[in-house]
Structure 1
Amino acid sequence: MKQIQSIEELYTGLIEGPGESECEGEGDFKGKCNGGSTLFVVPRIRYDVRRSDYLYQLYRPMLSSDRSNPSGHLDGVMNHSTPLTVRSLSFWEHRLLLKAVFQAPSRSLLHYHWFEIQDLRSLAGMVWKWFCLFWFRKRGGKIVWTIHNRMPHNPVFPRLNLVMRRWLASVSDRIHLHCREIADDVQEYYRVDASKIVVLPHPTFEARILERTTALNTLSQTRNLPINPKDTLFLMFGQISHYKQIPPVCDLFAAMKGAEPLAESGPAGGTEQQAESDPAGGVYRLLIAGPVKKGQQSVLRQIQTIADHSDNIHIIADWIPDEEMDLLFSASDCVILNMKEIWMSGVAMMARSYQKPLILPRTGCLPSLNQPGSSSMLHFFSDHKELTDAIQQFRRPT
């Protein structure tokens, strides 16, 4: 296992020089005979939400410009320090892997993310993905796989998911993880040698931090939310999905019935009665913001039912553009995560980028976020009682 500090180091030693038989490339691959190689990335880099896109932030140090072709993915942009072209692919563009590996196998590198079966449609798609990856590897292409979580969220066909993911782990030249703490689990679960594992921390995000009151007022007006600056606003951000366990958090806020937190910073503690009697305090509010994940409408209905009977729970079940993300995080006082089976969270890294306190589970890579100087910003829990205590004891700094 090796710890690295930059995305470029992840590919060191995986690209060889072109042989004479590879000097016949055309079109997308004609640059390979001049020393260039192609790094294929799956899935596509999302330029429409680049500040909140994990892939864009991960590969950003390798990109020499922000140019993208009309289809929305990076194509032909070179890093000036290394002769490497980054090309992100959609599902159907997996065919380009076959074209590349038959023309220039030693100059073709694939970095794969989120290799999983989520429903019947993705089961059919897995056949095509496996076919392309099988021939890519058989013809000499190199593969790097980032394992984001032990298994997919809300998986169907768990046994088949495990078989396919173990296959990809076996043919990958490198396995990328976000922290050392999960390496032993990966070795045992995916049956890979430690020499394959490379640790590179999760990227941070580009945060545009706004003044809290201004952001809160703007958000309240644009989304018609009854929130005032004295309130303490907790945020659950990202796709609305079963694995995020949003309903139990909604139940906690519904039970508070508008309890007022202390408005001044200080040691955690105090009782609900103290909070309610504090004249400078506001209301504990929970804001849930993000689109509903495909097939998870039942989760939205469940939390909407709770919100309909509570005046301190608010839901924005929409896709959130980068500009509104600035408003949400700048206006919020604390971000809550309540997943059980998770190794790493992009939302946790967003909260850190916006310098927001976090209430989060003690699992996977998340405890590794507890670096010197950050302990007051991170409130870990291991069970429902600790989650409840962390929420009730949180105090918003004035």
Structure 2
Amino acid sequence: MKIVFNPPDNKENQYISLMVAPLRESGFEIYPLDSFFSSYKHFKSIDLVHLNWFENVDDSSFFVAFRSFFRKMIVLLAIKLFRKPLIWTMHNRSSHEKGLRFFSRTLTALLVKWADRIIIHSHASASILAQRDRQTTAKIIYIPHPNFINVYGPIQPGPEDSNLLKLLFMGVVKPYKNIELLIKLAREFNKELQLTIAGKPSTDKYRQELEKMATGTDNLNLQLRFIDDAEIPSLFREADLLILPYDLESSLNSGTAILAFSYGKTVICPLIGTIADMDEMHADMLIYNYDDKHEHEPILRKTIAKAVALKKHSNHIFKEKGDRLLRYVQYRNNNHQIGVDLIRTYRELLTDKFNKNT
């Protein structure tokens, strides 16, 4: 079976590799979307197309956004006209790009309407899709997000005992992740916590803005660069827990939260879809919620203060919570079973298509 899986790789996130590996092991031939129109023979040979983050459009300028949108429309129209089975994975509530949203909204609407199957990684996604189009319910497939246990190397022993709370933010550094808010709050808790921000900023301009904001903040460790896979276990080793102050307007799933749990760390995080699904483990996380962006700062401040107090009460409390979360994702987010579910989804879709065409 020949399929297009887009993107075929991601140097900043092993999610793609984890999803594709069982497909290759089962004999699927995986091709990038860039090869889709390389020849008519190749185009015709593709049995199925699976798209991830396809609705995202670079909004750095109108021309760049329009060019990206136009190319993606051609791809979707070709898939539709030639009746190629289409699977779309819904990763976000909406595109994180704030400008020129018409393009991403249009692509999302077509993906919801034209996809034969929609894979979701959190149950909250199903209700969001139902609000957009009730007819999507029949084509939704829930598959848990894969775990990252030992993917970046083995777990390393935790930090030395200290009353100082050590927080880590890790991931691509983008405005919707509220890094500015983290820097502001780090200043307020100057004597009680240390914050490390590790990840490559989306633009050089944004990096410079954050560096300027952080000037004179003694308890802040900025590592605004690409973080090599081999560095991830040591970053986790030095942290008590991860802090992920996502924007609830667009955020839905978090691979970084699953990564934290995979390395025995708990999180400070709003109640996004990934966290909501783990209701039986909520006691082991520091979860908060807010109704509008103006509430985010005071609620996050209160949550950080709670973490500081917990650390002062017990040096090992976050390790105990992290260990329980590690066992949870090892079982619930089982990578082998996820591969089995994905392959079954492909085969059932292709069987349905074959039966309809005969």
State if a TM-score over 0.5 links the two structures. Answer: yes
- Report the counterpart of residue 42 of structure 1 in structure 2: 6
Among residues 297, 306, 309, which one is paired with 2:213 in the alignment? 306
List aligned pairs for 1:209-248, cutoff 5 A: 209-213=155-159, 231-248=164-181
The structure-2 alpha-carbon separation of the partners of 1:184 and 1:143, relative to structure 1 and needing over 3 Å to count, comes to same
Q: State the alpha-carbon separation in 1 of the partners of residues 40 and 100 from structure 2.
A: 28
Structure 1: segments with no counterpart, 5+ residues: 1-36, 65-78, 217-227, 260-283
Question: Does the aligned pair in 1 maintain the 2:90–2:125 contact within 8 Å?
Answer: no
List aligned pairs for 1:41-190, cutoff 5 A: 41-46=5-10, 52-64=13-25, 79=26, 83-87=27-31, 89=32, 92-96=34-38, 99-102=41-44, 104=45, 108-115=47-54, 116-119=56-59, 120-189=63-132
Structure 2: segments with no counterpart, 5+ residues: 290-295, 317-358
Residue type of the partner of 1:257?
N
- Report the counterpart of residue 9 of structure 1 in structure 2: none
Q: State the alpha-carbon separation in 2 of the partners of residues 152 and 94 from structure 1.
A: 24
- Report the counterpart of residue 347 of structure 1 in structure 2: 256
Cα shift readout 1:248-288 (whole Å, capped 9, x = no counterpart): 121111012223xxxxxxxxxxxxxxxxxxxxxxxx10000
Q: Which of the two has higher C-alpha Rg? A: 1
- Corresponding residue pairs, total: 296
Q: Is the partner of 2:277 in helix, strand or coil?
A: helix
The percent of aligned pairs where both chains have the same amino acid is: 22
Q: What TM-score, normalized to structure 2?
A: 0.76
Q: State the alpha-carbon separation in 2 of the partners of residues 96 and 155 from structure 1.
A: 33
Deviates more, 1:321-330 or 1:191-200: 191-200
Cα shift readout 1:13-57 (whole Å, capped 9, x = no counterpart): xxxxxxxxxxxxxxxxxxxxxxxx1121011223x56xx411112
Q: State the alpha-carbon separation in 1 of the partners of residues 200 and 254 from structure 2.
A: 17
Q: State the alpha-carbon separation in 2 of the partners of residues 98 and 167 from structure 1.
A: 24
**TM superposition outliers: structure 1 runs of 4+ over 6 Å:** none
Q: State the alpha-carbon separation in 2 of the partners of residues 93 and 125 from structure 1.
A: 16
Q: State the alpha-carbon separation in 2 of the partners of residues 192 and 97 from structure 1.
A: 35
List aligned pairs for 1:244-283, cutoff 5 A: 244-259=177-192
RMSD: 2.3
Q: What TM-score, normalized to structure 1?
A: 0.69
- Report the counterpart of residue 146 of structure 2 in structure 1: 203
Higher relative contact order (CA 8 A, sep 6+): 2
Question: Does the aligned pair in 2 maintain the 1:177–1:183 contact within 8 Å?
Answer: yes
Q: State the alpha-carbon separation in 2 of the partners of residues 189 and 139 from structure 1.
A: 26
Q: State the alpha-carbon separation in 1 of the partners of residues 306 and 122 from structure 2.
A: 29
Q: Is the partner of 2:214 in helix, strand or coil?
A: helix
Q: State the alpha-carbon separation in 1 of the partners of residues 75 and 190 from structure 2.
A: 55
Deviates more, 1:321-330 or 1:376-385: 376-385
Residue 321 of structure 1, CA deviation: 1.0
